Amino acid sequence: MTTLNLTTEITCPPTDLWSDEPPVESDLHLQQIILLLTCLDWLWRERSNYYASGNLTIYYNEAQLKKRDFCGPDFFVVLDTEKRPRKSWVVWGEGGKYPNLIIEILSNSTAKIDRTSKKELYQNTFRTPEYFWFDPNSLEFEGFSLINGKYQPIIPQKNGHLWSEQLRLYLGILDSKLRYFTAENDLVPTLTEVALQEKLAKEQEKLAKENGQQRIEKLAQKLKELGINPDEII
């Protein structure tokens, strides 16, 4: 008769892990990551079913914990998940979910890796549907879509924009920065740009009212010159 050893411990890899990424390469890298994060968060401010982050470790197998073979994309988005703060993205603690989109910001020290080994990792292991890279210095910009298990280049529009099916947005370069554009090619603004637009709209509204009042006053003066009391006109 076989007896079960009920004292055998079942161990599971931890899920509450801190990110283990080095500092970003430069101010350009930091500004670009912040720009991508803040614009998407503003655009999707009514949504709670996604997670976006930058320079954050993705733990995708237990062996990483021993080999310290970590991977932290410069920017990534996971769809159909809970929007909440995290210390890192732990795949086995997130229902096996990998990023839907990854963007790497190229530099002299990382460009070769981003174009080769990381691209292979995102294609073969992560199975991430879309992968983009952008160089803030040379403005090199390319995107790939996973088709039949292989990354295929995303064909740019005439304006150089690349369509992201995952985000339902275009990605394109404006003033040497990678920005989002809607399906109608309207720029997704930063909070500063939103505030400026609102300020200009208020100023235009105020000016229109002032101009309208001036026209009324001029008309009233003209009627008086003609001997007509404007107050008696219905």
Cα→Cα distances 13→9, 66, 91, 216, Å: 13, 11, 11, 76
CATH T-level fold of 27-188: tt1808, chain A (3.90.1570)
Cα→Cα distances 177→34, 105, 153, 180, 212, Å: 11, 11, 21, 10, 41
CA 87/CA 77 separation, integer angstroms: 15
pLDDT in tens, 157-210: 999 999 999 999 999 999 999 999 999 999 999 988 888 777 777 777 676 776
Question: What does the pLDDT read at residue 185?
Answer: 94
Stated pTM of the model: 0.78
- The full set of domain ranges for the chain reads 27-188, 192-232
Are 66 and 60 within 8 A, CB to CB? no
pLDDT in tens, 125-169: 999 999 999 999 999 999 999 999 999 999 999 999 999 999 999
